[in-house]
Chains A and B, each alone.
Chain A
Amino acid sequence: MESMVDAILSSPQTCIRQNLGHLFLKLEVGTGELEGYHAEVLGRQIEEVAHSIFHTLLLYRSVGKFTYKKEDKFSVGALGFVDVDCDFIDLTYVRLESQELDQHLKREIDAFRDALRMNDAPQSGQISLEFYQKKRARWPFQAECIPWEVWTLKLDVITLNSEHERNAYRQSLGMALGEKVMYIADNVSHHQYVPHTPSQRDLDLIFDTGYPTVQPYLFRISHQGPTTTTVSNTMRKFLKDTLML
């Protein structure tokens, strides 16, 4: 018996649950929701789902490293790319060639995976990739963080008993993820808000300059702890929502 990740990507307003499961990905821009995505993901492993989606997003939300030569002149580095074959999904995705960025994502996603695997019961959890910019604040306050794009991935861990099921799921999840990658590509080609390129003084308010060869927009990854999908939990949530507690 092996735990699987069942995934659905859907709009938070019209949560579409496909027959395979519940991976939930939503995109928020600014203060409001822009659009939802619906993808199918196979995944014996949680991290491959998150890696493929988040790396795809960071591909678009990163630029080459800025190197200032004068105060008002700077050059932009060249972004490299790497093909990544998934071990448990029939999928190859492209990520930026930056070991440091990959390691950072891996740490965050591993923590999420470990939280989901704390016990054998089927569990759910969600992990978010949030792009934000900082706004300077007067002393003694800290800079204000303003999110401008948030992607949330919801995962339900399911159990499949046979190898045949796992193989079929591996394939269908790969195809579904592929469709989502295509969908994301088409979506980012539309006009969307991204912060203006700042002056050198304000560079750290927009970009994460901590990586040696790439320069993603400021982002953070957060995840919520697993929630066991039991009848008692569902009833508890229902009562809580009903009573507006």
Chain B
Amino acid sequence: MAARLTAQDKKELDKFTNFFVFKSLQIIVQSRLGEKLKYKSRVTSSSIDWFNLAITDIPEVQAEAKRTLLGQQPLLSQTVNVEISLRTQEGASMVLETWSLSMNTEQSEPGMKVSSTVYNRMTLALKAIFSVSRMPPAYRLSRRQGGNNPDDFVICYRIYLGMPHTGYLGDDYKTTRVGAVPTPVGTIVINLAFRTNLLMPQNMAMHGMPFDVKDDHFGVSGSQLTEPRPCFTGFKHPTSVEDLRRMEGMDSPDLCAATFSTSPPDTGGFSNMPPSPSSNSKPTEVPSSVKDDFENLYRVGAFIQDEARPVRRERPEDRPFAALMSGLPPCNTQGSGDGNSECSELDKDEDEVDANEEEEQEEIEAKVTELESSDSGSVHEEMARGGSPSTDEFVMVSLKTPFAATDPTADLGQFYRELQQAPELDMCKSVVVTDDFLSDLKDEIDLLASKQPEFNAFIKSLSSDSDHE
């Protein structure tokens, strides 16, 4: 059971767990973007490099994760699941895999040091998610989405709480334990359940759609890099700048304002330092002139490749909001020496930041400063929390519409689509193959065969006529 933790340890553990869950979700979703990812190693971690892993967060995923996890106290009191699904153009969908993060409170390691051991074990677990995420069939499918037939299917994700819905994975689904992180209050377990039968069920598909993922699963366009477009909005079109502004608002500094440094083992291994003033990530706003371009960039849907705009995601400091700002001129970076860089252009519009968020931010900075001055131990760290999730919530169009019947035939949308299809012609139905029909057909063929010389002579005469002309 839970060990007696000091207030500081508990605070750190909660914070680490929080970031661990968010980073896990990022890694999982980003692995299904359908592109080869590359994150550069760096000598110095920046404030966003939690667990010393250079992983660029996607704001939309972050926003969706925050929306789903909002109010869950304590974190991981319910299992956090990420469901990866395939969706065809006709609207049929198939769940491919479910990742789940849960806390087993019956297995705990009371003596484990939070600031060093737990942190390092979380790093290992994130590496495991990174490595394992390339192995299931869903990864191969994701690499084929938007390939030769961009409209064939897309890969979607959904984050939800509660028991994982493995019933949607077919009969022969497999499960594997990706990793486990023992903590003083329990063990965080990461499990993966994935479908092995990749044939689209007939009752879910408009057409039987076998997916052969074996041959050349990377596809012709496998090497093309794409702009990440997670489908957290399902097929909702963010047609206004406000939609995009809301997404960016979610990228609040509470998830990006931690700087780490470490201490030798005499202080218990790795420890965290409070963010230096220069490393405090402030909410950045994209200039409105830039945001206007987002309407053209952001398209619906899930991980759809935009072959016209291949993008290699680099460090966020180099290109903040690279996921949304591809094609825009790169911002100026500075402070490469200390690993912290910021885009000065992005700070121009700070006036647009909500006043409440500014107040919160100031409050947090004050707290951080207070901690910096008061903390005399080797373990210093504070995460600047601020920017509570926007009150303007997203409209989440999940794959399975809430309150909809489970029978797809009863789905109104599908019914509507069926009505839109051309009905089958009666003349096609009336052809009945019988013995008489076949014998008549044979007689007709014989008759035509007997007249073949006559036809040949006719053709010959036509060709000779054309020669004369």
Contacts and interface: CB of A to CB of B under 8 A. Distances in A.
- Answer whether A and B are interacting partners: yes
Interface of A: 56, 59-60, 63-67, 69, 72-83, 85, 90-94, 96-98, 167, 171, 178-179, 181-182, 184-186, 188-191, 196-200, 212-214
Interface stretch (B34-42, B58-66, B295-303): B34-42
Contacts of B121: 189
Contact of B44 (A67, A83, A97, A179): A67
A189 B124 contact: yes
B122 to A, nearest CB: 11
Interface of B: 36-46, 49, 52-55, 121, 124-125, 127-128, 130-132, 134-136, 139-140, 143, 176-182, 214-218, 222-223, 260-267, 269-270, 339
Given A81-B39, A171-B214, A75 B180 contact: no
Given A82-B38, A188-B128, A189-B181, A182 B176 contact: yes
B125 A189 contact: yes
Contact of B214 (A65, A83, A90): A90
A72 B266 contact: yes
A56 B176 contact: no
Given A59-B131, A197-B270, A78 B38 contact: no
Indicate the member of A76, A79, A179 with the most B CB atoms within 10 Å.
A79
Given A66-B262, A85-B36, A182-B178, A92 B218 contact: yes
Contacts of A189: 121, 124-125, 128, 177-181
Nearest to A57: B131
Given A72-B263, A82-B38, 15 more contacts: A73-B261, A75-B260, A77-B42, A78-B46, A78-B54, A82-B36, A85-B222, A93-B134, A98-B41, A185-B179, A189-B121, A189-B125, A189-B177, A197-B264, A197-B265
A76 B177 CA distance: 28
A133 to B, nearest CB: 14
Contact of A78 (B49, B124, B181): B49
Contacts of B42: 77-78, 80, 213
Contact of B54 (A56, A80, A83, A197): A80
A185 B134 CA distance: 12
A75 B214 CA distance: 44
Contacts of B177: 186, 189
B258 to A, nearest CB: 12
Given A72-B266, A75-B260, A76-B261, A181 B49 contact: no
Nearest to A211: B41
Nearest to A186: B177
A197 B52 CA distance: 15
Given A85-B218, A94-B131, A181-B132, A79 B265 contact: no
A102 B132 CA distance: 20
A77 B45 contact: yes
